[in-house]
Amino acid sequence: MQKVWWKESVVYQIYPRSFCDSNGDGIGDLKGITGKLDYVQKLGVNVIWLSPVYKSPNDDNGYDIADYQAIMDEFGTMEDFDELLMEAHQRGIRIVMDLVVNHTSDEHAWFVESRSSRDNDKRDYYIWREARDGKEPNNWGSCFSGSAWQWDEKTQMYYLHCFSQKQPDLNWDNPVVRDKVFEMMTWWCEKGIDGFRMDVISMISKPEGLPDAPMAEGALYGGCDLTCNGPHVHEYLQEMNRRVLSKYDIMTVGETAGVTIEEARKYANSEGTELNMVFQFEHVGLDGGDADKWAKKKMSLPALKENLTKWQKELAGVAWNSIFFCNHDQPRVVSRLGDNSPESAKCIGTMLHMMQGTPYVYQGEELGMTNCLFGPIENYRDIESINAYHELTEAGLREPQELLSCIAYKSRDNARTPMQWNGSANAGFTTGTPWIMVNPNYKEINAEKELADENSVFYYYQKLIRLRRQSEWSDVIVYGDYELLLPQDEAVFAYTRSLEGRKLLVLCNLSDADAEFELPAEAAGPVKAVLITNEGEAPVLKERMKLKKWQCVVYEI
């Protein structure tokens, strides 16, 4: 396997709006991030993925971009960005930008022109269609509720928006659009940024003729499946690779909704003709999938093991995995798989960080930050949650209280509460009024407290990251082969990693009860070293093993 820096990296995702507010307006900003770089460096990561910081009317918190080459007013200026980039580089931290090019904001100059008349020369930058029998051109639903089509009075046609009405989809079949996007990307690369996380990049190529999509039972609109992995997506990414990516030493990760193993092997192929890696979403769909996001099934551990193992084994040697559970769209993993305790946070972190692939840590995950009890829908800020609540209750499809409990479990806002820096007002995030509520548990869970406690989740994550990046086991952790043990066990996630005669054994009791299990003889020792454990002394390794609830340990055997 070819060795490269982005395989050996650990990425820290920052959602700027919720990270640190430097000027008291209640909104996190670039200067706030720069002021916390020492903290990020202390954690030990070497890459930051910055959620969008571009000019935006914030219908979807910056994922609706009005100018790709300007900074959002609330976040600061281009000088602030340059300073952040320089300060990060001085600390050996690279910066990966969010690239949102499936759509723009409706306030982007391209769209303003495009909608101005049917014969405007930018008309074809977007996807315009005539009405069909006086209605929408097809049955597609927006990911944020309602139809994916918006009627435009002025020119009497519909435009496509797979997300909000303020996020019209770009027409990637138009070569001029591709030129413009590639020019913009080149501009950022020339500035010295270190890569791109590509927002819903699997959706850029729409199917020929925009046919109706299959409807799930009880659904109001057709699903998004047809828009994922479309007919020209690989061709367009190969073109992007040739014209931009291959010219720079950068890392790329595609957010690929609907990706399968087969597709991932193309997107993230080891020949390097498209992207370096992709985010897949099957494992985070196991407690209620895309079609039924507002559910809270219990995630079965055997199913989780089977899924993650499939991705580990089937990309090995031919593509590269991203490993994650948290980001700005996902509820907090410690509330999802764990029981909100620091022990469960450490156990889940171990299970993920010992796998093959590039790990992503989302801000606050390293503190064990939890889901937030927002209460009534008025306390939410996320367009997806708010729209779904209104659409599904007004159509009589869901009971308000029951739906609210699912939103409490799954809402993206769980990840977007302000970073908990200390126990002072607003968790030290802002001196003003925060744009979204602070999780009331900030007095128990915060960075200042954890930095003063050597047994904290923070120092545990620091150790996990150091093991991968700077230890005698780094090569085995980054490049070793993965084998699952005990596939059917309901409580324990156990696997080995092996490389050139060295072997690690990872044991994680992902349950809130003590677990007993039997290891295959060849995995039961002898122990050469204990890499990490979350409960004082490491347990003695033997065939008949016992682990306390949420206990985990990694041995070299």
How far, in Å, CA of 91 to CA of 40, rounded? 10
Which member of 11, 14, 20, 27 binds Ca ion (CB under 5 A)? 27
In the three-class reduction of DSSP (H, G, I as helix; E, B as strand; rest coil), residue 157 is classed as strand
Task: Using DSSP, state whether 6 is helix, strand or coil.
Answer: helix
Does residue 106 touch ligand GLC according to CB under 6 A?
A: no
Per-residue interface string for the shown chain with ligand GLC, residues 242-271, x marking contact by CB under 6 A? -------------x----------------
Distance CA 506, CA 495 (A): 5
Binding test (CB under 6 A) with ligand GLC, winner from 282, 329, 413, 535: 329
Nearer to ligand GLC, 256 or 350 (CB): 256
Least Å from the CB of residue 328 to ligand GLC: 6
Q: Taking the complex as a whole, how short is the minimal distance between the CB of residue 151 and Ca ion, in angstroms?
A: 37
Report the residue number, 21 or 64, with the smaller CB distance to Ca ion.
Answer: 21
CB-count exposure of residue 114 (10 Å: 0-12, 13-18, 19+)? buried
Backbone angles phi, psi at 60, to 5 degrees: -130, 45
Interface with Ca ion, residue 25, by CB under 5 A: yes
- Residue list 82-101, contact with ligand GLC (CB under 6 A): 100
User: E-assigned strands of 381-528?
Assistant: 481-485, 492-499, 502-509, 515-518
Which lies closer to Ca ion via its Cβ, residue 16 or residue 349? 16
- Catalytically annotated residue among 255, 274, 365, 413: 255
Bridge partners (DSSP) listed for residue 12: 48, 361
User: Residue 505's CB: how many other CB atoms inside 10 A?
Assistant: 23
Judge whether 199 counts as a catalytic residue: yes
**15, 49, 68, 163: which one contacts ligand GLC (CB under 6 A)?**
163
Burial class for 297, CB neighbours closer than 10 Å (0-12, 13-18, 19+): exposed
Among 6, 29, 148, 250, binds Ca ion (CB under 5 A): 29
Residue 484, beta-bridge partner list: 495
405 in Cβ contact with 165 (< 8 Å):
no
Residue nearest to ligand GLC (CB): 63
274 near ligand GLC, judged by CB under 6 A: no
Round to whole Å and give the CA distance between 259 and 203: 10
Q: Does 413 bind ligand GLC (CB under 6 A)?
A: no
Q: Which lies closer to Ca ion via its Cβ, residue 17 or residue 449?
A: 17
Residue 93: CB atoms within 10 A of its CB come to 18
Among 200, 226, 250, 492, binds ligand GLC (CB under 6 A): 200
Interface residue with Ca ion among 23, 174, 270, 393 (CB under 5 A) is 23
Closer of 29 and 329 to ligand GLC (Cβ): 329
How many Å separate Cα 336 from the centre of its chain? 15
Least distance (Å) from Ca ion to the CB of residue 451? Answer: 23
> Which candidate in 199, 366, 413, 535 is catalytic?
199
Q: Which stretch binds Ca ion (CB under 5 A): 13-21, 405-413, 470-478, 523-531?
A: 13-21
DSSP annotation string for 159-209? EE-SS-TTSPBB-TTSHHHHHHHHHHHHHHHHHT--EEEETTGGGSSPPTT
For 42-52, b/e burial (b = at least 16 CB within 10 A) is ebbbbbbbbbb
Smaller CB distance to Ca ion: residue 87 or 481? 87
Give the side-chain half-sphere CA count within 13 A for 270: 14
27 binds, among Ca ion, ligand GLC, none (CB under 5 to 8 A by kind): Ca ion
Give min distance, CB of 220 to ligand GLC, in A.
20
User: Residue 200 touches which of ligand GLC, Ca ion, none (CB < 5 to 8 A by kind)?
Assistant: ligand GLC
Minimum CB separation from ligand GLC for residue 60, in Å? 5
Instruction: Respond yes or no: is residue 82 known to be catalytic.
Output: no
Q: Does 21 bind Ca ion (CB under 5 A)?
A: yes
Question: Any residues with CB less than 8 A from the CB of 29 and at least 6 apart, and which?
Answer: 16, 20, 21, 22, 23, 74, 75, 76, 80
C-alpha closest to that of 314 among 277, 255, 261, 249: 261
CB nearer Ca ion, residue 427 or residue 494: 427
Count of residues in contact with Ca ion, rule CB under 5 A: 5
* Half-sphere exposure in the Cβ direction for 299 (13 Å, CA): 25
Tell me which residues touch ligand GLC (CB under 6 A): 60, 63, 100, 163, 199-200, 255, 328-329
Query: Which residues are designated catalytic?
Result: 199, 255
Tell me which residues touch Ca ion (CB under 5 A): 21, 23, 25, 27, 29
